[in-house]
Amino acid sequence: MTRKFAPVILLFAAVLSLVALAQTDTAAAAPAAPAAAPAVAAPQPGITKVGIINIQGAILASNEGRRDLEALDKKFDPKRTELQNLNKEIEDLKKQLNTQGDKMNEDARSNLVRNVETKQKTMQRASEDAQNDYQQQQSEIAQRILQKMAPVIDKFAKDNQYSLLIDVSQPWPQGQVLWFGLNADVTKQVVDLYNAQSGVAAPASASNSTSRPTSGTITPKPAATTHKPAATPTTPTAPPKQ
């Protein structure tokens, strides 16, 4: 399952900036209140408290994210089945071409080759369209959740006096963080706070994990175009399991 939220993650800084700006505007508009004792002790001078958070993992691990992404997967099940069936047709035709092509007359073999190529082009276009549609809807889900999660992260960081929270959704060397201690990871704490605020119940069919999601695809791998029968029969490639 594809879990690529890069365009959404890039919006995170902007979202937090809007949160901070809104809080500043609210504070400026509100009447001055008597100073209250701080809820937590002020950090010692010279000490910087740094934490790390996997934004991508937090979105996926939230009850809302798991619920909505499961629904998205189910929505694309018919298209996934359609592409797998088309992939099987192509592999069967390729097998026929490899095993019987040298026994066919030129016209029959040429027609079979064209049939394979036509179906491959059809599947390629359908695969790309489905993948783009899936990723667009997936990004929309992630962006919606991130916009609601940003104020939770902002409040958590301020309440716990963090000077810096670093997103580690991308591992090194794609990301900038080479190493961190597990005690610096606040992803689960943020997810728990967001779940409590959202009121969305945990889906029964999903596991509560904040690990970095893996990349994948909803479509079977297109078969290579065949122009001539191979010298020996080839084994059809089964569509990948979803």
Q: How far is it, in rounded angstroms, from Cα 70 to Cα 78?
A: 14
Q: Provide the token pair at 34.
A: 């008597």
Calculate what percentage of the chain has a pLDDT beyond 90. Answer: 57
Of 60, 75, 70, nearest to 5 by C-alpha is 60
Q: How far is it, in rounded angstroms, from Cα 92 to Cα 175?
A: 43
Domain positions in the chain are: 6-15+47-198
Beta bridge partners of 53: 167
Amino acid at 175: G
- pLDDT of 39 above 60: no
**pLDDT tens figures, 172-200:** 999 989 999 999 999 999 999 999 999 99
8 Å CB contact between 165 and 13: no
Tell me the average pLDDT across 141-154.
97
- pLDDT of 233 above 80: no
Q: Provide the token pair at 176.
A: 């900038």
Tell me the average pLDDT across 84-96.
95
Q: What is the DSSP string of 159-186?
A: HTT-SEEEE-SSPTTTSS-----GGGB-
Give pLDDT, residue 204: 82
pTM equals 0.66
- pLDDT of 139 above 90: yes
CA distances in angstroms from 116 to 87, 111, 119, 174, 209, listed in the order given:
10, 9, 5, 39, 42
Give pLDDT, residue 43: 52
8 Å CB contact between 225 and 90: no
Q: Could you give the 3-state DSSP secondary structure of residue 50?
A: strand
Q: How far is CA 140 from the centre of its chain?
A: 11
**pLDDT tens figures, 196-229:** 999 999 988 654 444 433 333 444 443 343 333 3
